[in-house]
Structure 1
Amino acid sequence: MTDSVTQHVTSLGQDEFPAYVYDLGALAQHASSIRSALSGAPEIFYAAKANPDPAFLRTIAPYVDGFEVASGGELRHVLEAVPGSRIAFGGPGKTDAELLDALALRVERIHVESPHELRRLARLSQSEGGADVMLRVNLAGDRSGAALAMTGPFGMDPALIEECRPILAASPWLRLHGIHAHLASGLDAEAMLRQSEQILAWARPWLSSAGVESPEINLGGGMAVDYAHPDRLFDWQTYGEGIAKLARPGETLRIEPGRSMAVYAGWYVTDVLDVKRAHGEAFAVLRGGTMQIRTPVTKGHDHPFTLLPGASPEGPVVEDAPVTYVGQLCTPKDVFARHIPTDRIAVGDIVAFSMSGAYAWNISHYDFLMHPHPTFHYLPEE
C-alpha cells in the first residue's frame, strides 16, 4: 500500500466501510508505463468491462487509443464519460437495437461474431452509410496455462468465417478492415507473443485473399495478472519488443488490455465485525462480502490483503493462528481468503484487499441481501 492509500484508509470512519479506494495517480502511472513500453505500437484499446468507472475511463484516456465495449450500455456509458472516443464494439449476441446504436454513434469498428450477425448488420446498415467491420476468428491451438480459453460462442472458426465472404461481396457498404482474435486470458508475455504469432500467421493470408489493403489485426487482451503474487507484473517491455518484431509496414496491430491495466489501482476496504472459532478453525467476519467484490469467488483464490490495526475496541481476539476471512452473506461461499497465517486479528481491525481495481464491484451481485453499498473514494493524480 502506498502512503497515500494507507493514510486515506486509516482516516475512514466506521460508517464509511466497506469502501472502494481508487488511486488514480497509481492508475495513470501504470497506464503511462504500458504506453511507454509499447512505444506507440500496437494501438491500445482499454477493455471497459474491466472497470467502467468514469474516473477510471478519464484517467486512462490519455494513455490509450480508444476503448473496447461489449454492449450498447457500455457504448453509451463510455461516450458519456469520455466524449469523442474511438470505440470498438465487440461481444456475442448483439441485438438489432445495439447495432443500430453503434451505427448512429459512429462506432469506429464493429467486431462481428457470426455470419448471421454480419447479415443482420448488412441489412441494418445499408441505409445508414454502411459499417466498418472486423471479423472475430476463434482459432484452435494450445491454450495451456490460460486462465480462460475463449471458445464456444466467441467468434467464428476458420470454416465458419468462410461464410462471411459471400455476404461481404453482396454488401459493398460493409467495409472489412481486418480480423479480431481474443483467444485466451491469463497469459504471460512469452505466451502472449506465441499466441500473437499464431493469430498473425492465420490472419495475414486470409485478409490478403479477401482483398483487404492496410489490414488491421486485433490481437485481443488477456495479459496475465497474478493474485497470488501481486508484485509479479506482466512484462510489458518484453511484450512490446516482441510485438515490434512481429509488426509489418502497412498494417495496424491492436490490443485490448483491461484487468492488467486497471486491477492494481483499487482497494476494497472494510472492518472486522467479529472473530471466533468453530470446530478448531478461526474466522474473521468482515463488514460487506463477496457480493461487493466477486473476484475471490469468481477466481477461486485467496484475495491478497493488508491487515491494519483498528481502534482496538473491546471484543474477541485471535492470535497466532490461520484465519479464514468471510463476509456477511448467508452462504458458506462468502469467503475472501482461507486459512491465512495471522499474528493477531481483533474486532475493529481494518482489512484492505488490494488488486480490486478490475472485475470487482462492477461484476458483483451487490443487491443480494440488500446490505448497504460501499462508499467510493478517489485519490487524485499528483
Structure 2
Amino acid sequence: MPVTINVESVHELRRLDLIARRHHRVAPIALRINRATGTLTGSHRMTGTPTPFGIDESQLSQAIALTTQSPGVRLTGLHLHSVSNNLDAAAHVAFVADSLAYAALIADEHRLTFDTVNVGGGIGVDPTGAAAFDLDEFSRLLPEADMSGPRVVYELGRYLTAEIGWYAAEVIDIKHTHDRTFAVLRGGTHHFRLPAAWGYSHPATVIEREDWPYPWPRPELVNATVDVTGELCTPRDVLARGLHVDRLRIGDILVFDRCGAYGWTISHHDFLNHPHPTFIVL
C-alpha cells in the first residue's frame, strides 16, 4: 500500500507537487483540516482553536481546487486529528462518527471519493494513573458509528508505548528549604520532560539500596511528603510535587512508570552537557 502524505497547508501542497513532478511521481495525499469546531476534550486541542496545525476550514475549497491543478499529487482523504490525550471513550466514538460524516459531506460537495479518513491519535493515557481510556467501551460502541465508506486510520503512538517505559534515577540529595522538602535526582527533565511540560506530578516508586559509602549518618525521610527535582540549574526542573514516601534515603532509586511516550523524545537532552541516561531494553 502506498504511503499517504498528510498536507498541512497550501504552501506545503505546492511544494509537494513540485517535488513529486521532479521525480515523475504522483503522491497520494490527505489534507489535514483545522475544523471550525472542536469535538473532543483533552490536554492539547489541535482544532477548533487558533493553532499552526492543518488548513483552516475556510480555506478547504481553495486547497481542494489546487489539488485538481497539481499533477504531482492525488487527493485520497482527509486528516482530522483534533486533540491530544482524550480519556473519554464514548466521546471518542462520537468524534470518529462525526469525522466520517464530515468527510462524506466534503466528498459529496466536491464530487470526490476518499480512500481514507485519518482521525489521528488522541486516545489518551493518564500519566498519574488516576484515570484510563476504556478501550473495551470504545470497541463496543464503535460499531454503532457509520463505518461504511473510507478506511479509518488511527494514530495510537502514545497509547501503545506509554506503559512500556520506565525512568529510574538515583536520589543524590535530600534537603529542606522554605518549609518544603526536596529530593534531588541524578537526572531530571533533560531525561524526562513530560511532567514539567504538562504541569503535573508524576508518580514514582522507591527502590531501596543499602549501599552507603560515607562515614556520616545516612539522611532519610520517613512517612514524608517530598518534591522531586532534577539536577539542572532551573527551578522548573521538577518531576513531582507532594510525593508521599514511606521511607526515602540518599542513594535510593526513584522509578517513574508510564514513560514510554513523550519522555526522552521531547526532552532537552544536552542541557548544560549533562550526560544522557543509560537505556536498557528488556
* Aligned counterpart, 2:4: 109
- Mapped to 2, the partners of 1:280 and 1:165 lie a distance apart of 60
CA distances 1:90-114 after superposition (whole Å, capped 9, x unpaired): xxxxxxxxxxxxxxxxx61011112
Report the alpha carbon displacement of residue 166 of structure 1 after superposing the two structures with TM: 2.4
How is 1:90-109 mapped onto 2 (pairs within 5 angstroms)?
108-109=3-4
Q: State whether residues 306 and 351 of structure 1, in contact with CA within 8 Å, keep that contact through their aligned partners in structure 2.
A: yes
How is 1:59-138 mapped onto 2 (pairs within 5 angstroms)?
108-127=3-22, 128-138=24-34
Matched, 1:190 2:105: no
- Mapped to 1, the partners of 2:147 and 2:134 lie a distance apart of 22
What value does the CA root-mean-square deviation take over the aligned residues?
1.9
Q: State whether residues 40 and 95 of structure 2, in contact with CA within 8 Å, keep that contact through their aligned partners in structure 1.
A: no
Q: State whether residues 296 and 336 of structure 1, in contact with CA within 8 Å, keep that contact through their aligned partners in structure 2.
A: yes
How is 1:331-350 mapped onto 2 (pairs within 5 angstroms)?
331-350=234-253
Q: Number of aligned pairs?
A: 273
Choose which of 201, 205, 219 in structure 2 pairs with 1:316: 219
Report the alpha carbon displacement of residue 214 of structure 1 after superposing the two structures with TM: 5.3
Identity %: 38
SS at match of 1:376: coil
* Aligned counterpart, 1:150: 46
* Aligned counterpart, 1:58: none
- Mapped to 2, the partners of 1:251 and 1:122 lie a distance apart of 24
* Bigger RCO of structures 1 and 2 (CA < 8 A, at least 6 apart): 1
How is 1:141-290 mapped onto 2 (pairs within 5 angstroms)?
141-142=37-38, 145-151=41-47, 152-187=51-86, 188-213=88-113, 215-229=115-129, 232-290=131-189
Greater shift after overlay, 360-369 or 192-201?
A: 192-201
TM-score by length of 1: 0.67
- Mapped to 1, the partners of 2:182 and 2:208 lie a distance apart of 17
Aligned structure 1 segments of 4 or more residues deviating by more than 6 angstroms: none
Report the alpha carbon displacement of residue 333 of structure 1 after superposing the two structures with TM: 0.9
SS at match of 1:165: helix
Q: State whether residues 281 and 323 of structure 1, in contact with CA within 8 Å, keep that contact through their aligned partners in structure 2.
A: yes
Q: State whether residues 18 and 72 of structure 2, in contact with CA within 8 Å, keep that contact through their aligned partners in structure 1.
A: no
State which structure, 1 or 2, has the greater radius of gyration over its C-alpha atoms: 2
Q: State whether residues 304 and 355 of structure 1, in contact with CA within 8 Å, keep that contact through their aligned partners in structure 2.
A: no
Matched, 1:307 2:206: yes
1:186 aligned partner, one-letter code: N
Matched, 1:293 2:196: no
How is 1:348-363 mapped onto 2 (pairs within 5 angstroms)?
348-363=251-266
- Mapped to 1, the partners of 2:175 and 2:92 lie a distance apart of 45
- Distance change >3 Å, CA 211–CA 241, structure 1 → 2: farther
Report the alpha carbon displacement of residue 281 of structure 1 after superposing the two structures with TM: 1.8
- Mapped to 1, the partners of 2:52 and 2:138 lie a distance apart of 28
SS at match of 1:233: coil
Report the alpha carbon displacement of residue 258 of structure 1 after superposing the two structures with TM: 1.4
- Distance change >3 Å, CA 249–CA 197, structure 1 → 2: closer
In structure 1, the gaps of 5 or more residues are 1-85, 87-106
* Aligned counterpart, 1:7: none
Report the alpha carbon displacement of residue 116 of structure 1 after superposing the two structures with TM: 2.0
2:8 aligned partner, one-letter code: E
Greater shift after overlay, 136-145 or 307-316?
A: 136-145
- Mapped to 1, the partners of 2:147 and 2:111 lie a distance apart of 17
1:299 aligned partner, one-letter code: W
SS at match of 1:162: helix
In structure 2, the gaps of 5 or more residues are none
Larger proportion of helix: 1
